[in-house]
């Protein structure tokens, strides 16, 4: 009997057994990108983390409906209730229609995710495509008495909500402390209290994205879309809500308040958060000059990068840390990941060639059990990887004749790599065929040039010229140097 | 001074000079797929046709905002006002949420378009994401008196509209003829007259996709989305509306009626329609067993296909016919396209190697002028291709020394291929790099084995073994035969 998946629930602050509401169906909602700029490392980590969960739940036999949204309206600068919409601002600066900005960066995000072998979610709803659903959600909260209209905008009444429920249940903050750390309102604002947050904002005339509503021409508050779209596609109660830890407060806290106010109960059973990424120990930020996009990583075109990194290297690197630990990017760490992943992939290639024996001196079943156990223990991918390295040691030991393996165990060993490295961790052989072919090409050309050099030394100029001419005819340009030769393909 | 683009306008039934409303800006709207099944040949032709127009307008210096929608709600079976929603039906059959169906086939469509080097549009709006905009459009038509509410649904009043304007202006049909070919209503229907079409449909309780409105919980009529989204992203009047000829009636006819009723004027200046595709002379249809998806074409996995076809072959094949001609798919025709495209690509590769002279005996400028002229003449891509074959003849004649070319003309010749074949027709070298690298590899290995054979003949067994061992070490398996050798890479 298989053990259960234990997963850390940010809401209860402990690991809990995962029990879906309607097994074998699982509903999972994850906060996707606000598409006003190129995908960067900060997008890669949650995408990969919840891709692993999506894959692993599937492996465990669940049928997962995975919803990951695209925020294309309502996300204001500084994640606040005032200021310009992030996408509208980018559109204004680039002289584009906001939806042109959305299209460009949605495509960029999709491209990068595909490169990193992140599976597409089951549904990818857009905030701007669910205005009616969000308006209906505002209406429900107004009707239940936890929101008020003010000058065409609608705000969530945190104080009133906090009397009946608890605002801060997810983040562990309490309203009194938060209030004491907040400047009081100057009386000019629409909000009654500083902690109140917008559900619907009346648009100023110059605001490009606005829709009619019962309250004003305006747009939804940022926190609302996830409550509305989560309910639409997963129901009033669903299993998992994920996202980066930076979204825990206020975004997810507000989501809980919204769904509790609207429906009298929380929507989500398990809140799962991945930790943050730092770069050489520093927080990533545009002003710090360490803001690296995925495209730059793939091509090595940022001044902090000493080389280009294969998307699989970045994926493997992310998985070498537990998703709830911080993760520090550096060239050294990425290069180590590249090397480690390469060794695993090479080891996998060797398995089929291993000699088989009547008996196994190694326990392959044991490795498989440990991999499963690590995944079941709050998706501990670094431990899974360490067990794959143990499997690699087994491969080498059998190769050297130090250990023996049966044919059956050999197949089981192959399967461990296929299930854990490829299916669950989602690592792909990076352009295997092309790289092999070009590596072999390097070797054959080098061998030919060595033969030519040898012929020259033996004063067999006819042969050395013959090789040279043949290579030149193939487009290989040879340059003789003091130490031998250099060459390139034209 | 460059000539103008002449384009066939389905509305006036003649070629007209293209004059944008707000040059250099051009607004272009094209009907995209209804995403309830895999992308097929019927999707490929409009996508490629309007991709060519998008690319060519860009080449002419225009700034194009290209909107291509995704229909994810409202498109009922048989393109009618009654029956099940195409996507909801597929969702019901597959036991999925409709938006899961939408996600699957949108991704499939995007993937196929990317393979065929169809550029993404500037904005890709979804019908379900613009319910408010469509409701506002219904309201405008109701307010102007050309629609009526009936039992929670809203219908367009064709008879009344036809008195003030003309219903049938695009298709050339007239209302009297249409009425005489239509069964009269049985009095049980909500519609007052048989030609009336739905703007808003009240949903039956089991209908999965529905939204609140002033009239009922329901969903928009199929024709409405394009009017509403076109106006939202391109304005009340814009330049180009494109689509397949099968959409001309009733879909585009209804769009004209809607915008005229709502705004008192037509929205679109130039209506452009591509003709249909047949397969071995027959109309494509699921019941005829000749319904070939693009994925099947790319992999050769349909019983009508004798081989797999590169996406570029399909693209080239489509462009070998004028977009207003019908196009008949067959294995023979595709194979001919494959060969023709291959010859052009090979010819392009040869240009850099051509010997140069002081004078040109050929007129390269003339070829370029003709290519431009053909594109300006209603996007006559088959004529462009024929001029590229003339350019190819020039390449061969210079190669054989029958004609001469200056260095400058050689560069101009390269540029013709780069602009017309690559940039405008959008043909890509299929996997150029890999193929070159593997071809070179074949040659170097053959050369090494020839050297080994030669060493053997010269009884220099030390050398022949040295080469053999080196190659074996690289994974090249050599088998000596009576006539020499065979080899393969392990």
User: Which ipTM value was assigned to this complex?
Assistant: 0.84
Neighbours of B416 (CB within 10 A): 24
A440 interfacial to chain B (CB closer than 8 Å): yes
In a domain, A3, yes or no: no
- Looking at the structure of chain A, the number of domains it has is 3
Of B385, B259, B263, the C-alpha closest to B316 is: B385
The answer to whether the CB atoms of B233 and A97 lie below 8 A apart is yes
- The distance of A167 to chain B (nearest Cα, Å) reads 31
Contact B307, B331 (CB under 8 A): yes
Least CB–CB distance from A123: residue in B99, B467, B471: B99
* The 3-state secondary structure of chain B, one letter per residue: CCCCCEEEECCCCEEEECCCCECCEEEEEECCCECCCCCEHHHHHHHHHHHHHHHHHHHCCCEEEEEECEECCCCEHHHCCCCCEHHHHHHHHHCCCHHHHHHHHHHHHHHHHHHCCCCCCCECCEHHHHHHHHHHHHHHHHHCCCEEEECCEEEECHHHHHHHCCCCCCCCCCHHHHHHCCCCCCCCCCCCCCCCEEEEEECCCCCCCCECCCCCCEEECCCHHHHHHHHHHHCCCEEEEEEEHHHHHHHHHHHHHHHHHHHCCCCEEEEEEECCEEECCEECCHHHCCCCEHHHHHHCCCCCCCCCCCHHHHHHHHHCCCCCCCEEECHHHHHHHHHHHHHHHHHHHHHCCCCCCCCCCCCHHHHHHHHHHHHHECCCHHHHHHHHHHHHHHHHHHHCCCCCCCHHHHHHHHHHHHHHHHHHCCCCCCCHHHHHHHHHHHHHHHHHHHHHHHHHHCCCHHHHHHHHHHHHHCCEEEEEECCEEEEEEC
Residue listed under structure tokens 């949420």: B97
DSSP designation for A155: E
Give chain A positions within 8 Å (CB) of B130. 129
Nearest CA in chain B to A431: B434
Of the candidates A274, A291, A307, which is a domain's last residue? A274
Domain extent for B443:
433-489
Mutate to test the interface with A, among B103, B135, B487 (most CBs of A within 10 A): B103
The answer to whether the CB atoms of A471 and B97 lie below 8 A apart is no
Distance CA B99, CA A324 (A): 31
Please indicate, yes or no, whether residues A212 and A139 belong to a single structural domain of this protein: yes
Give chain A positions within 8 Å (CB) of B233. 97, 99
Contacts of A75 (CB under 8 A, 6+ apart): A34, A85, A86, A87, A222
DSSP designation for A246: G
Of B42, B68, B69, B64, the C-alpha closest to B53 is: B64
In a domain, B110, yes or no: yes
The answer to whether the CB atoms of B132 and A100 lie below 8 A apart is no
Contact B36, B250 (CB under 8 A): no
DSSP designation for A195: T
Contacts of B488 (CB under 8 A, 6+ apart): B476, B477
Distance CA B490, CA B475 (A): 5
The answer to whether the CB atoms of A99 and B125 lie below 8 A apart is yes
Residue A360 φ/ψ region, left for φ over 0, alpha for ψ in the -120 to 50 degree band, beta for the rest: beta
Terminal-to-terminal C-alpha distance of chain B: 60
Least CB–CB distance from A128: residue in B110, B129, B475: B129
Instruction: Please report the pLDDT score of residue B437 as a whole number.
Output: 63
Least CB–CB distance from B444: residue in A130, A448, A463: A448
Please indicate, yes or no, whether residues A460 and A413 belong to a single structural domain of this protein: no
Mutate to test the interface with B, among A63, A210, A443 (most CBs of B within 10 A): A443
Please indicate, yes or no, whether residues A197 and A326 belong to a single structural domain of this protein: no
Q: pTM for this structure?
A: 0.86
Please indicate, yes or no, whether residues B251 and B226 belong to a single structural domain of this protein: yes
Q: How many CB pairs under 8 A join A and B?
A: 103
Least CB–CB distance from A97: residue in B123, B440, B443: B123
Contact B445, B487 (CB under 8 A): yes
Do the bridges between strand A238-244 and strand A218-220 make them parallel or antiparallel, or are there none, so unpaired? unpaired
Of B177, B180, B201, the C-alpha closest to B189 is: B201
- Segment holding A350, helix H or strand E: helix A331-351
Terminal-to-terminal C-alpha distance of chain A: 61
Residue listed under structure tokens 């608890």: A166
Instruction: Please report the pLDDT score of residue A303 as a whole number.
Output: 87
Distance CA A158, CA A147 (A): 8
The answer to whether the CB atoms of A123 and B441 lie below 8 A apart is no
A288 interfacial to chain B (CB closer than 8 Å): no
What CATH number does the domain containing A59 carry? 3.40.50.620
Q: Is A179 exposed, middle or buried (0-12, 13-18, 19+ CB in 10 A)?
A: middle
Residue A131: pLDDT above 90? yes
Please indicate, yes or no, whether residues A351 and A216 belong to a single structural domain of this protein: no
490 residues of chain B, pLDDT tens digit each: 357 999 999 999 999 999 999 999 999 999 999 999 999 999 999 999 999 999 999 999 999 999 999 999 988 887 778 888 999 999 988 889 999 999 999 999 999 999 999 999 999 999 999 999 999 999 999 999 999 999 999 999 999 999 999 999 999 999 999 988 877 766 667 899 999 999 999 998 888 899 999 999 999 999 999 999 999 999 999 999 999 999 999 999 999 999 999 999 999 999 999 999 999 888 887 777 788 999 999 988 888 999 889 999 999 999 999 999 999 999 999 999 999 999 999 999 999 899 999 999 999 999 999 999 999 999 999 999 999 999 999 999 999 999 999 999 999 999 999 999 999 999 997 655 455 566 778 788 888 988 898 888 889 999 989 998 888 888 788 888 776 777 777 6
Contacts of A106 (CB under 8 A, 6+ apart): A35, A70, A72
Least CB–CB distance from A474: residue in B130, B440, B475: B440
Give chain B positions within 8 Å (CB) of A470. 447
In a domain, A447, yes or no: yes
In a domain, A465, yes or no: yes
Query: Between the CA of residue A40 and those of A110, A277, B187, what are the distances in Å?
Result: 12, 11, 61
Of B142, B167, B111, B168, the C-alpha closest to B299 is: B111
In a domain, A2, yes or no: no
Instruction: Please report the pLDDT score of residue A418 as a whole number.
Output: 95
B38 interfacial to chain A (CB closer than 8 Å): no
Please indicate, yes or no, whether residues B246 and B297 belong to a single structural domain of this protein: no
Least CB–CB distance from B233: residue in A99, A123, A211: A99
Residue B426 φ/ψ region, left for φ over 0, alpha for ψ in the -120 to 50 degree band, beta for the rest: left
Give chain B positions within 8 Å (CB) of A132. 131-132, 211-212
The answer to whether the CB atoms of B475 and A124 lie below 8 A apart is no
Residue A378 φ/ψ region, left for φ over 0, alpha for ψ in the -120 to 50 degree band, beta for the rest: left
For the segment A172-182, the average pLDDT, to the nearest whole number, is 89
Please indicate, yes or no, whether residues B107 and B123 belong to a single structural domain of this protein: yes
Please indicate, yes or no, whether residues B222 and B193 belong to a single structural domain of this protein: yes
The answer to whether the CB atoms of B437 and A440 lie below 8 A apart is no
Please indicate, yes or no, whether residues A310 and A245 belong to a single structural domain of this protein: no
Q: For A21-35, what is each residue's pLDDT tens digit?
A: 999 999 999 999 999
Q: For A297-321, what is each residue's pLDDT tens digit?
A: 988 888 899 988 999 999 999 999 9
State the alpha helices, DSSP H only, in A194-330: 224-234, 253-263, 294-299, 311-319
In a domain, B163, yes or no: yes
Of the candidates B383, B399, B424, which is a domain's last residue? B424
Residue A1: pLDDT above 50? no
Residue A477: pLDDT above 90? no
A126 interfacial to chain B (CB closer than 8 Å): yes
The answer to whether the CB atoms of B440 and A440 lie below 8 A apart is no
Of A200, A424, A428, the C-alpha closest to A313 is: A428
Of the candidates A424, A441, A456, which is a domain's last residue? A424
Task: Verify cis geometry, omega within 30 degrees of 0, for the bond prior to A145.
Answer: no
The answer to whether the CB atoms of B445 and A448 lie below 8 A apart is no
What CATH number does the domain containing A317 carry? 1.10.730
In a domain, B242, yes or no: yes
SS3 for A176?
A: helix
- Listed by number, the residues of chain B in 217-236 with a beta carbon closer than 8 Å to a beta carbon of chain A are 233
Of A197, A223, A247, the C-alpha closest to A81 is: A197
Give chain A positions within 8 Å (CB) of B437. 434, 437-438, 441
Q: In what order do the strands lie in the sheet with A277-279?
A: A282-283, A277-279, A327-329
B100 interfacial to chain A (CB closer than 8 Å): yes
Please indicate, yes or no, whether residues A367 and A243 belong to a single structural domain of this protein: no
Alpha carbon of residue B487 to chain centroid: 43
- The distance of A127 to chain B (nearest Cα, Å) reads 9
Nearest CA in chain A to B437: A438
In a domain, A235, yes or no: yes
Pull the structure tokens for residue B170.
């695009």
Give chain B positions within 8 Å (CB) of A101. none
CA dihedral A281, A282, A284, A286 (to 10 degrees): -140
Instruction: Please report the pLDDT score of residue B1 as a whole number.
Output: 39
A477 interfacial to chain B (CB closer than 8 Å): no
Give chain A positions within 8 Å (CB) of B124. 103
Please indicate, yes or no, whether residues A293 and A236 belong to a single structural domain of this protein: no
Least CB–CB distance from B448: residue in A129, A447, A474: A447
Please indicate, yes or no, whether residues A363 and A471 belong to a single structural domain of this protein: no
Contacts of A427 (CB under 8 A, 6+ apart): A117, A312, A315, A316, A341, A344, A345, A421
């Amino acid at each position: 009997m298989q053990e259960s998946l234990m997963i850390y629930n940010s809401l209860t602050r402990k690991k809990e057994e995962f029990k879906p509401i309607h097994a074998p169906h699982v509903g999972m909602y994850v906060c996707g990108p606000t598409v006003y700029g190129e995908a960067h490392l900060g997008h890669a980590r949650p995408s990969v983390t919840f891709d692993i969960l999506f894959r692993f739940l599937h492996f465990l036999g669940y049928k997962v409906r995975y919803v990951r949204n695209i925020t294309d309206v309502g996300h204001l600068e500084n994640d606040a209730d005032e200021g310009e919409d992030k996408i509208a601002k980018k559109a204004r600066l680039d002289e584009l229609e906001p939806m042109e900005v959305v299209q460009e960066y949605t495509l960029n995000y999709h491209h990068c995710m595909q490169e990193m072998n992140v599976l597409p979610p089951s549904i990818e709803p857009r905030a701007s495509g669910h205005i009616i659903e969000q308006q209906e959600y505002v209406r429900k909260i107004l009707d239940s008495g936890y929101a008020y209209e003010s000058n065409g905008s609608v705000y969530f009444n945190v104080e009133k909500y906090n009397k009946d429920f608890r605002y801060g249940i997810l983040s562990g903050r309490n309203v009194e402390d938060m209030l004491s750390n907040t400047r009081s309102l100057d009386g000019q604002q629409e909000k009654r209290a500083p902690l109140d947050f917008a559900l619907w904002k009346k648009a100023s005339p110059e605001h490009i994205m606005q829709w009619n509503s019962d309250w004003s021409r305006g747009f939804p508050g940022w926190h609302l879309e996830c409550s509305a779209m989560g309910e639409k596609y997963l129901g009033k109660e669903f299993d998992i809500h994920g996202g980066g830890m930076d979204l825990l407060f206020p975004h997810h806290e507000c989501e809980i308040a919204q769904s509790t106010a609207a429906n009298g109960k929380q929507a989500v059973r398990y809140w799962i958060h991945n930790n943050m990424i730092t770069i050489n120990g520093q927080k990533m930020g545009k002003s710090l000059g360490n803001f690296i996009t995925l495209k730059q990583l793939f091509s090595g075109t940022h001044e902090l990068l000493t080389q280009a990194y294969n998307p699989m290297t970045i994926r493997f690197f992310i998985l070498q840390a537990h998703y709830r630990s911080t993760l520090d990017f550096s060239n050294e760490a990425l290069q180590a990941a590249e090397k480690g992943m390469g060794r695993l992939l090479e080891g996998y290639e060797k398995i089929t060639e291993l000699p088989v024996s009547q008996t196994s001196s190694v326990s392959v079943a044991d490795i498989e059990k440990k991999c499963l156990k690590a995944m079941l223990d709050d998706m501990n991918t670094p431990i899974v990887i360490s067990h794959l390295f143990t499997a690699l040691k087994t491969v080498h030991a059998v190769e050297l004749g130090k250990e023996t393996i049966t044919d059956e165990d050999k197949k089981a060993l192959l399967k461990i790599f296929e299930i854990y490295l490829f299916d669950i961790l989602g690592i792909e052989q990076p352009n295997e065929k092309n790289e092999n072919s070009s590596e072999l090409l390097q070797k054959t050309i080098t061998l030919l040039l060595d033969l030519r050099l040898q012929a020259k030394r033996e004063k067999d100029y006819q042969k050395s010229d013959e090789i040279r001419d043949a290579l030149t005819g193939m487009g290989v340009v040879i340059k003789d140097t003091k130490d031998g030769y250099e060459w390139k393909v034209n």
